[in-house]
Amino acid sequence: MKKESGATLPVWMNHEQAPVRQVLRENIACDVCVVGGGIAGLTTAYLLTREGKKVVVLESKEIGGGESSRTTAHLSNALDEQYYNLIKLFGKDGARLACQSHARAIDKIEQIAKEENIDCDFHRVDGYLIATSPEEQDKLMQELEAVQQIGWPEVVLRKHCPVDSLSTYPCLHFPNQGRFHIMKYLNGLAKSIQDKGGQIYSGAHVKEFKSGAVATAITTEGHSISANHLVVATNTPVNDKFAIHTKQAPYRTYVVGVQVPKDSVPDALYWDLKDPYHYVRLQKETAGDETFDLLIVGGADHKTGQHDNPAECFEELERWTRLKFPMAEQVIYRWSGQVYEPVDGLAFIGRNPGDEDNVYIATGDSGHGMTHGTISGMLITDLIMERPNPWAKLYDPGRSGLKGVGEYLKENLNVAVQMKDHITPGEVDDQMEVLPGTGRILRKGATKVAVYCDPNGVRHQHSAVCPHLGCVVSWNSVESSWDCPCHGSRFDPYGKVVTGPANTDLGPAK
């Protein structure tokens, strides 16, 4: 993709897609069926092929075409939830296991890249958690005490941030973090899986799941994959209605890629303590231009489908970036992604609650998708191979949401409030009010209709009701999509499903 201001695709998508163009044309039986071709699904498939399992991967888009390709590729065990909160929820032992699991995940990425000769720009870098006010400095001291309690003495308090303009307050220095190029890494994983006999099918959208001693995934074309084990690694589970969706919430997160003079910003990871917080890193030598580095800045998160003008999020990020990094020059990339925030701060990885024991899920990345996805592969592989894993209880999807009871109640009340949209007026009274390239909600009697006007002025109508649990979608002007404000399902302008938990399109307008 050509670099230009306002581009919506992330820098990773400039890299050639993984060499997977195989189309599913038959029914297949296998040991393990993995649904989802992002980092969680491919890591799981990679590790299981190394165990001698016959593995089939189904991806509805292209490999990495979902949220994995929209990551900022921080590799960190300095967790967003902060360890002083995790100690309250899971105790010192639980917080220690969380820390160790993410550290092991970074090690595993480094190991795989080395063993498979994947040139994915993996680098170890330091991380800095910064304070910008006296109140945040107090939180910084709480976090320092917490990491000491879980036995991480390498984390130290620094008087000054490496970037003077970022903060004049102290910061916590987290050594041995990392960064990499996600699409190069996924390309390498896909090739290794296929070299070991694994099968990967892109454009294979699963519309139905059947549980049992043998689990089955059925695609929209009617082909079925029957497997002894089924792994659903689709950012949020698309194989059930309720089990996990009450325990996590979808958020849109925004990123800008800004040119900065080469070596003007120390190569490290940076995070602040704002709400929503900012996260920053470098991508060195972008597009062969050795005079610039790419500064990747993320933040401005909000609940999916609950912002009237999401373009303002990019404006806020650019304003903050230019304030904190005066050397910032041209904005050459802009993109957004979707993360799922579990109510207690840790991912859900393991056997799907209320399902057969041979069905597994991986979800709840909480802004740490690269390490959580790698943990998913390691943990689920151990479960399938019937080996003990010290993280199994910590990440158990069946654990109670009441550990984070306050967040649990807040998020589910928020979902309930969205149902009011069924009785509110439409955004327009006539479809002719919808301008080319935009979408609006129109009321027709007792129902609501999603109206999209294409660039040629043709209006397209679909039901505005999400097929997952019946919430009314809203128009996302940044991604040109219809987004569900309840559980994060997303649909393209013509109503075709893009992201679960819905696995069917918007219905016809009535």
What whole-number distance in Å separates Cα of residue 263 and Cα of residue 163? 12
- pLDDT 10s digits, 28-49: 999 999 999 999 999 999 999 9
- pLDDT 10s digits, 130-150: 999 999 999 999 999 999 999
What whole-number distance in Å separates Cα of residue 139 and Cα of residue 131? 8
Higher-scoring residue by pLDDT: 190, 286? 190
The pTM assigned to this predicted structure is 0.92
Residues of the chain with CATH 3.50.50.60: 22-71+183-246+345-409
**pLDDT band per the 50, 70, 90 thresholds, residue 7:** very low
Ordered DSSP codes for 258-299: EEEETTSS-SSEEE---SS--EEEEE-SGGG-TTEEEEEEEE
How much is the pLDDT for 289? 59
Q: Candidates 3.40.30.120, 3.40.630.20, 2.60.40.740, 2.102.10.10; correct CATH number of 423-499?
A: 2.102.10.10
- pLDDT 10s digits, 241-275: 767 888 899 999 999 999 999 999 999 999 999 99
- Which residues, in sequence order, are CB contacts of 274 under 8 Å at separation 6+? 132, 299
What whole-number distance in Å separates Cα of residue 254 and Cα of residue 304? 12
Q: Residue 6: is its pLDDT beyond 50?
A: no
- pLDDT 10s digits, 480-493: 999 999 888 999 99
Mean pLDDT of 363-387: 96
Residues of the chain with CATH 2.102.10.10: 423-499
Please give the angle made by the CA atoms of 44, 48 and 52, to the nearest 5 degrees.
165
How much is the pLDDT for 12? 66
**pLDDT band per the 50, 70, 90 thresholds, residue 4:** very low
User: How large is the angle between the packed helices 83-115 and 369-384, nearest 10 degrees?
Assistant: 80
State the chain's mean pLDDT as an integer.
90
Beta carbons of 353 and 397 less than 8 angstroms apart: yes
How much is the pLDDT for 500? 85
Level-2 CATH architecture, domain 22-71+183-246+345-409: 3-Layer(bba) Sandwich (3.50)
Beta carbons of 347 and 244 less than 8 angstroms apart: no
Mean pLDDT of 450-478: 92
Q: Residue 3: is its pLDDT beyond 50?
A: no
- pLDDT 10s digits, 177-202: 999 999 999 999 999 999 999 999 99
- pLDDT 10s digits, 50-70: 999 999 999 998 888 889 989
